[in-house]
Amino acid sequence: MTTAVTVDARVLRDLLATMWRIRAFEEQVGALKRADEVHGLIHLSIGGEGVAAAVCRQLRDDDAVYSGHRAHGHAVAKGAPLDRTMAELMGRDGGLCQGMGGSMHLVDVAHGFLGATGVVGGNIPLALGSALAAKQRGTDVVAVVFFGDGAVQAGLFTESVNLATLWRLPVLLVCENNGFAEFTPRSAHTTVERVGDVVAPYPLPRQTVDGNEVADVWSAFSALLARARAGEGPALLECLTHRLRGHYEGDPDRYREAVSTEDWQRKDPILRLQRAGHDAGWLPAGEPAELEKRARAEVEDAVTWARSSPFPSAVPEELR
Ligand SMILES: Cc1ncc(C[n+]2csc(CCOP(=O)(O)OP(=O)(O)O)c2C)c(N)n1
Ligand SMILES: [Mg+2]
């Protein structure tokens, strides 16, 4: 299904550019991890860029976004600068957290990216806190939290849904359901396939969309966001995604079937939007290559900047 024509072409262009920035950034992060220039455990979201772009590009700097362990795309889409984000992953002083946080502790307060976490589901209650603060201050600020399907089996998910609905908090729960928690398929850790069904008893709108179809994510989130801003309470958006890479960089990935090239070409949210743009006439033939080139050049500049930044002084000599 494609509904790309129902979303303004200017918006779709912006989403395509954002997805390219995330893709180029993460491909480079993977390469730098293999070269031992990026440190720590790295989880890439390649294949899931559509969700990050479609959600975060509708938000303001004063809206709070929380993420989990697969957070680079959410940070970049919310406005975190590529150079300081890359520097953080490379453990440099110029990084968003002076190089002391790394991939799973990315935070960019200036752009309302309130953070990654290595604790699965751990940021869901924190997002409720931001939403409660926004409500008590009488603002129309919202909080958004991204989490995976694995986090839904944690008790704090249900506790959070309960409180969010009870207090009608302006919080948007965005689940990226890629069908796996680490190396375990969803069918091996729950009997409820759709995360939307898990929240069925609670009075909140819930919608499941194809996360590879960026226009669908944009449209669905847009409606839920408008409700939350108007004080009508929380919502859940479940986006069905496919992670192209293993759970972490270096994962031998032996627990699942490799996706065929043809299947990936069909699923890839970037290629899908480009095909839709071409068919609908809003994307000139040379533009995808231009967007990709621009994104890769920006990432190269970010790496150059990060390499020129010193390691923080607290890092022991032997780790430098
Ligand atoms: C509280 C907690 N329990 C377990 C882990 C180990 N762990 C790391 S990632 C992960 C799976 C998460 O799956 P999901 O939420 O679906 O996210 P995905 O990796 O699929 O994006 C687990 C269990 C953890 N980091 N934190
Ligand atoms: Mg998952």
Query: What's the length of the chain?
Result: 320
For residue 29, being part of any structural domain is answered with yes
Residues with CB under 6 A from ligand 1: 69-70, 118-120, 147-151, 178, 180-182, 247
What 3-state class would DSSP assign to 74?
helix
Left, alpha or beta for 59 (phi > 0: left; psi -120 to 50: alpha)? beta
| Whole-number percent of the chain with pLDDT over 70 | 97
CA gap 54, 59 in Å, rounded? 10
Burial of 315 (0-12, 13-18, 19+ CB in 10 A): middle
Ligand 2 is a single-atom ion; what residues have CB below 5 A from it?
Answer: 148-150, 178, 180
Q: Residue 117: what pLDDT?
A: 98
CA distances 114 to 52, 127, 271, Å, are 15, 9, 30
User: What residues have CB less than 8 Å from 263, skipping those under 6 apart?
Assistant: none
CA gap 30, 44 in Å, rounded? 8
pLDDT tens digits along 117-150: 999 999 999 999 999 999 999 999 999 999 999 9
In contact, 83 and 305? CB cutoff 8 Å: yes
Rg for the chain, CA atoms, rounded: 19
Q: Residue 316: what pLDDT?
A: 62
- Decide if pLDDT at 1 tops 50: no
- Domain count for the chain, please give it: 1
For residue 220, being part of any structural domain is answered with yes
pLDDT tens digits along 144-159: 999 999 999 999 999 9
First to last CA, the chain: 50
Amino acid at 188: A
Please report, for the domain that includes residue 163, its CATH number.
3.40.50.970
Q: What H or E segment, with its residue span, contains residue 146?
A: strand 143-148
* CA–centroid distance, residue 280 to ligand 2 (Å): 33
Mean pLDDT over residues 7-36, rounded?
97
- Decide if pLDDT at 106 tops 70: yes
For residue 316, being part of any structural domain is answered with no
What angle is formed at CA 223 by the lines to CA 221 and CA 225, rounded to 5 degrees?
Answer: 65
Nearest CA to ligand 1 atom 4: 120
- Decide if pLDDT at 76 tops 80: yes
Q: Residue 180: what pLDDT?
A: 96
Burial call 51-63: b when 16+ CB within 10 Å, e when fewer: bbbbbbbbbeeeb
In 3D space, the residue among 174, 180, 151, 191 whose CA is nearest the CA of residue 259 turns out to be 180
Burial of 109 (0-12, 13-18, 19+ CB in 10 A): exposed
Q: Residue 314: what pLDDT?
A: 72
Domain interval for residue 131: 4-303
Longest dimension (CA), the chain: 57
**Which atom of ligand 1 lies at the shortest distance from residue 118's CA?**
25
Tokens representing residue 189 in the block? 């850790």
**Which atom of ligand 1 lies at the shortest distance from residue 120's CA?**
26
Q: Residue 6: what pLDDT?
A: 76
For residue 318, being part of any structural domain is answered with no
Phi, psi of 300, deg, nearest 5: -55, -45
Tokens representing residue 39 in the block? 């440190």
CA gap 148, 243 in Å, rounded? 11
Phi, psi of 172, deg, nearest 5: -110, 120
Q: Ligand 1: which of 46, 49, 69 to mutate, most ligand atoms within 8 Å of CB? A: 69
Banded model confidence at residue 5, pLDDT cuts 50, 70, 90? very low
Q: What is the 3-state secondary structure (H, E, C) of 81-138?
A: CHHHHHHHHCCCCCCCCCCCCCHHHCCEHHHCEEECCCCCCCHHHHHHHHHHHHHHCC
For residue 308, being part of any structural domain is answered with no
For residue 83, being part of any structural domain is answered with yes
Q: Residue 315: what pLDDT?
A: 65
pLDDT tens digits along 182-233: 999 999 999 999 999 999 999 999 999 999 999 999 999 999 999 999 999 9
For residue 320, being part of any structural domain is answered with no
For residue 311, being part of any structural domain is answered with no
Mean pLDDT over residues 98-121, rounded?
97
